[in-house]
């Protein structure tokens, strides 16, 4: 079954604990936490203290997506705060292999992420070292953007690379996903969908939105 990772960037931060509880009860698999530094991306979001607070209110795995420069400086702090998966951008780290190893030595699962213009060849040499590849389907920085359809063939190609070279790595897709486009993204080979606006800002409410995404992504018999 596809994993759903609601992105709290689109949540109401004044009611964060409550909303995390709601996605958990509706069957979310991970909590996706978008960390932005105003340098790697133009936006600033949240950091280590928020991860530590969330850790106290949920047992779901925390899927921490670092959109920051020099991620290697912060790995230990995020793992101590309770991150289960830490994903760093290939565009942001000059010492990617060292950063991946540091994440694993600290005891978390390691992911690498690629922006839409970055070719898949950028993850080639790291494929045996990571647990997850996150393909961005919007340019990172903001929730609520539209899915870039040109990323679908990229997701398909990444799926093939994973199946050929290291089956078992999770393929996560992040940005602009909703119940309408989710079936195509799953068909292209995604294992994990990060979903922000279409869950936390859904007219039908959080649990209705999760249910709709779940139904949209059920594998056809």
What separation in angstroms does the CA of 111 have from each of 30, 163, 200? 14, 17, 24
Nearer to ligand DX5, 31 or 79 (CB): 31
Residues 6 or more apart from 59 whose CB is under 8 A from it?
none
Cβ 195 to ligand DX5 shortest distance, Å: 5
Cβ 145 to ligand DX5 shortest distance, Å: 5
DSSP designation for 147:
P
Question: 94-126 in b/e burial notation, b at 16+ Cβ within 10 A?
Answer: eebeebbebbbebebbbbbbbbeebebeebeeb
Nearer to ligand DX5, 96 or 177 (CB): 177
Tell me if 140 contacts ligand DX5 by CB under 6 A.
Answer: yes
Residues 37, 63, 131, 174: which is the catalytic one? 174
Q: Is 29 a catalytic residue?
A: no
Binding residue for ligand DX5, selected from 60, 144, 148, 207, defined by CB under 6 A: 144
Residues 6 or more apart from 189 whose CB is under 8 A from it?
155, 156, 158, 159, 160, 162, 171
Residues 29, 34, 131, 191: which is the catalytic one? 34
Q: Is 174 a catalytic residue?
A: yes
Binding residue for ligand DX5, selected from 68, 195, 202, 206, defined by CB under 6 A: 195
Binding residue for ligand DX5, selected from 22, 34, 72, 170, defined by CB under 6 A: 34
Binding residue for ligand DX5, selected from 23, 197, 206, 212, defined by CB under 6 A: 197
Longest CA–CA span in the chain (Å) reads 46
| 3-state secondary structure at position 9 | helix
| 3-state secondary structure at position 207 | helix
Question: 64-77 in b/e burial notation, b at 16+ Cβ within 10 A?
Answer: bbbbbbbbbebbee
Which of the listed partners (Zn ion, ligand DX5, none) does 145 bind, with a CB threshold of 5 to 8 Å by partner kind? ligand DX5
Tell me if 177 contacts ligand DX5 by CB under 6 A.
Answer: yes
Q: Which stretch binds ligand DX5 (CB under 6 A): 6-14, 97-105, 154-162, 204-212?
A: 6-14
Please provide residue 111's backbone torsions phi and psi, each rounded to the nearest 5 degrees: -125, 155
**Beta pairing, strands 3-6 & 85-89:** unpaired
Nearer to Zn ion, 87 or 217 (CB): 87
Binding residue for ligand DX5, selected from 85, 138, 162, 213, defined by CB under 6 A: 138
Nearest to 66 by CA among 112, 109, 126: 112
Tell me if 47 contacts ligand DX5 by CB under 6 A.
Answer: no
Residues that bind ligand DX5 in the complex, under the rule CB under 6 A? 7, 9-10, 32, 34, 65, 138, 140-141, 143-145, 174-177, 194-198
């Amino acid at each position: 079954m596809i994993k759903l990772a609601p992105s709290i960037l689109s949540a109401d931060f004044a009611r964060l604990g409550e909303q995390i509880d709601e996605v958990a009860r509706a069957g979310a698999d991970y909590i996706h936490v978008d960390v932005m530094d105003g340098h790697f991306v133009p936006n600033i979001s949240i950091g280590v203290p928020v991860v530590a607070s969330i850790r106290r209110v949920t047992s779901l795995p925390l899927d921490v997506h670092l959109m920051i420069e020099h991620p290697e400086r912060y790995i230990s702090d995020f793992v101590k705060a309770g991150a289960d998966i830490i994903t760093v951008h290939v565009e942001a780290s000059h010492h990617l292999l060292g950063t991946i190893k540091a994440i694993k030595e600290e005891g978390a699962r390691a992911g690498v992420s690629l922006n839409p213009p970055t070719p898949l060849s950028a993850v080639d040499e790291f494929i045996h070292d990571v647990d997850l590849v996150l393909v961005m389907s919007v340019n990172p920085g903001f929730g609520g953007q539209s899915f870039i359809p040109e990323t679908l063939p990229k997701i398909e190609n990444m799926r093939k690379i994973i199946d050929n070279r290291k089956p078992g790595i999770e393929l996560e897709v992040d940005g602009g996903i909703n119940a309408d486009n989710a079936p195509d993204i799953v068909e292209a080979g995604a294992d994990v969908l990060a979903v922000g606006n279409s869950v936390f800002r859904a007219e039908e409410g959080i649990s209705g939105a999760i249910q709709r995404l779940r139904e949209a992504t059920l594998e056809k018999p």
